[in-house]
Amino acid sequence: SSGINAEYGGSAPSRLPNTSNFSIRGTRSRDVLSRVAFTASRGAACHSDRETPSPVLLRSGVTVEDALSSIRISFGRDSTLHDAEFAVTELTRALGKHEN
């Protein structure tokens, strides 16, 4: 276990298969993403450049705290398992956590 307190967003029928949105509780997504070597977005796609919680996430029932710690990662046709593993490794490193 990594010790990271994360909450996965969206139910399978209502989400895009290549996009994951999750909140890492106790963090701010802007701070976390400033320490990783890949590109991702904060919150909802239409709100990633703002400091306030995404109204889209709030309307979907996400708490203010989870909205502010929300990270959205999308993968494309050319993405590989290595890309996904790299993202997990980078997030873990940025959070100062170590896999056991």
Which residues are designated catalytic? 46
Q: What DSSP element (H or E) covers 72? A: strand 70-74
Secondary structure of residue 13 in the 3-state scheme: helix
Instruction: Count CB atoms within 10 A of the CB of residue 48.
Output: 17
What dihedral do alpha carbons 78, 82, 88, 89 form, nearest 10°? -140
As given in the structure block, the two tokens for residue 78 are 């050319």
Instruction: Return d(Cα 7, Cα 24) in angstroms, integer.
Output: 7
